[in-house]
A and B are shown apart, each in its own frame.
Chain A
Amino acid sequence: MTVGAGSAVVVATEGWRRLDRRMLAMHPVQEVIRFAPALIGLLIGGSGSGDGPLWSLIGVAVVVGLGLLRYATTTFRITPDQVQVRKGLLRRRVLAVPMDRIRTVDVTANPLHRALGLARVEVGTGRTDRKKQHALLLDSLSAPTAESLRDELLHRRGRAARPAVDDVAGSATEIVRLDARWVRYGPFTLSGIVTIGVVVALLSNAANEAKVSLSRLGGLHSARTQLAGIPAWAAALEILAMAAVLTAVASTIAYLLAFWNFQLIRRSEGTLHISRGLLTTRSTTIEERRLHGVELSEPLLLRAVGGARCIAITTGLRVGRGAERGGSILLPPAPRRDAVAVGARVLGDEHALTAAVVHHGPRATRRRYTRALGVTGVAVIIVVILVAAGVLPLWSVIAAAVTVPLAGALAADRAHSLGHAVVDRCLVARRGSLVRRRSMIRANGVIGWNLHRSFFQRRAGLLTLTATTAAGRQAYAVQDTCEDVALRIADDLTPLLITPFLAIGS
């Protein structure tokens, strides 16, 4: 084995490569930081009583040891048609992914990585990323190696098939970069709630380990005395105001941390390149061939201030919870027209993003109301019965009654959001209120159709048409439309597919 000058990549036999040696220095530090609350607690609280701190220390030692083993056991190589990773000590595992299955490459570097010039590489494939242990993850490589690995995986392959592209770098066009003024949308993202939760958990964990009672800490204690001295409604207002301010500040900080230096670039090799992050930098490369659509997502608060974000509908990136902050984000919360513009440039079709949607009519609207009011109505009746039985206090009836107009407003907004359109071989489906999503999926990304009719939908003569796809959320629904409309959508997007199953002479 030889160590190249300047580069710490060890080249093993037959082209097998190792992780960067500097990860050995980084890994223990990283684990110690992760266990910091426990360790701080240990230092402050002393080791006199209980085994908790001791177990924390043993845990840290074991995790560090495992990390060091990972360096010794993980190797990878790139053959002309596969990328292979060997890992594991007791259970040796070889992950082999065909090159043409690679959809995305994600290069992340947290502050520690960056201090040491390292980066973590994650390769997204269409299918294997659903299970964690199958993830193709290399933690860590040197930053230049990570960059060149990404180019090897996504940009250079197929060179022979596309001889026109033979310059190494290719050309890049910037689609959008972060405008500092967009930070004003930060407070409306609510992402700070998560941050606050994490901080509170860390603090209480540390305090717990240190055997310090939180209620006896100076600031909290005086706050409690003050709150106890004023009427209940004033105290509630004060707590709410405090929570709102804290959330706004934390959300803004979270916005800055996640999206600082955000930049979306289109490269001539057929990839989209997204880079962002203040402390932890992340750069995601998406193969455009696998991008089947875009989504405009407008959470209620953000919508109220005219903001929206844009998300890629693509295979190979994890979706679901956190997708908004994950790799598939094409534009962080920004003015709505900017989100529309970015979506249009990525999709190459402005009309799909701006076209008016067809609303689903009075029956679909009625269903929004019966569903929203039905649930709250039942809840109110239960509360009334419980109050009559003396189980609940009288004011709970008022609290329950307040939810009825709220549910009505929600239903009205949901009915207003609901709609669809077929524009330029692209399915546009819009729905939702608390998070309104307008999804645009290209026809060639649609695999098949599910037509769901619940008992009540059948009575109302409605059905929900779902386009299944390998990208994004896997299923995009046109909710509560009538059969004729649904079948015309399906027939527009996938010609001939449903034709044999249409009723003859209807």
Chain B
Amino acid sequence: MAPIPAPPAPDSPDSTALRLRAPANRVSRRAIRYWATRAAAGWLVPVGSQVLSIAISQAALGPRLIAVIATAVLAGAHCTVMPQWRYRVHRWETTPTAVYTQSGWFDQERRIAPISRIQTVDSERGPFEQVFGLANVTVTTASAAGPLTVKGLDRDVAAALVDDLTRVTEADRSDAT
């Protein structure tokens, strides 16, 4: 084990405090456009229905115009900020002993699971992801609370990751519970 420095005095910003670094690998850059597209598709319904109501109905235009503009601004902000932010956060790394992922954007989560406890390794591609040449990889353990998912990987990278993890976990066929 690497030497772990002694705990710092409580509540004092100390340089010996342990910190976790981010995982080494970023996901594919194409994931940014994929996330933006998916978010835009999600906003189509609220924005579209408001535009439709303005086009059809004759009643007072003012409040509804404000509402649709507000929605559009919100949608625009979401579609530009979220994908960039998410790309900065989403990272992954595997070592011979562990898998380490970081995901989220507004709320963020890091997950670490030992290779010896991996039960399944799956790769999955949705229709949108197909278009962008992306894939997800999900690693499950015996805990229902602990699947590690890497989203927005390049298809080839994902395939290599699955191969790699499958090979390593096959060597260790213990019960993992």
Interface residues of B in 55-106 (CB under 8 A from A): 93, 95, 97-98, 100, 106
Q: How many A-B residue pairs have CB under 8 A?
A: 130
Q: Chain B residues near A454: list those with CB within 8 A.
A: 106-108
Q: Chain A residues near B145: list those with CB within 8 A.
A: 450, 466, 468-469, 473-475
Contact assessment for A495 and B113 in the assembled complex, using a CB-CB cutoff below 8 Å = no
B44 at the A interface (CB under 8 A) = no
- In whole angstroms, how far apart are the Cα atoms of A449 and B4 in the complex? 18
Stretch at the interface among B17-25, B32-40, B161-169: B17-25
Contact assessment for B112 and A497 in the assembled complex, using a CB-CB cutoff below 8 Å = yes
- In whole angstroms, how far apart are the Cα atoms of A30 and B97 in the complex? 54
Interface residues of A in 485-506 (CB under 8 A from B): 487-488, 490-491, 494-504, 506
Minimal Cβ-Cβ distance residue in B for A130: B144
Contact assessment for B114 and A483 in the assembled complex, using a CB-CB cutoff below 8 Å = no
Q: Chain A residues near B17: list those with CB within 8 A.
A: 482-484, 506
Interface size on B, residues (CB 8 A): 40
Is chain A's interface secondary structure helix, strand, loop, or mixed overall?
mixed
Q: In the complex, how many angstroms separate the beta carbon of A136 from the nearest chain B beta carbon?
A: 17
Q: Chain A residues near B109: list those with CB within 8 A.
A: 450-453
B30 at the A interface (CB under 8 A) = no
Contact assessment for A500 and B107 in the assembled complex, using a CB-CB cutoff below 8 Å = no
Minimal Cβ-Cβ distance residue in A for B7: A488
- In whole angstroms, how far apart are the Cα atoms of A497 and B20 in the complex? 12
Contact assessment for B19 and A484 in the assembled complex, using a CB-CB cutoff below 8 Å = yes
Q: Chain A residues near B141: list those with CB within 8 A.
A: 447-448, 468, 470
Contact assessment for A488 and B4 in the assembled complex, using a CB-CB cutoff below 8 Å = yes
Stretch at the interface among B8-16, B45-53, B127-135: B8-16
Q: In the complex, how many angstroms separate the beta carbon of B14 from the nearest chain A beta carbon?
A: 8
- In whole angstroms, how far apart are the Cα atoms of A475 and B111 in the complex? 12
Q: Chain B residues near A483: list those with CB within 8 A.
A: 17-20
- In whole angstroms, how far apart are the Cα atoms of A130 and B145 in the complex? 13
Give me the interface of B with A, judged by CB distance under 8 Å. 1-2, 4, 7-8, 10-11, 15-21, 23, 93, 95, 97-98, 100, 106-114, 117, 141-146, 148, 175-177
Nearest first, the 3 closest Cβ-Cβ pairs linking A and B are A468-B146, A475-B145, A448-B113
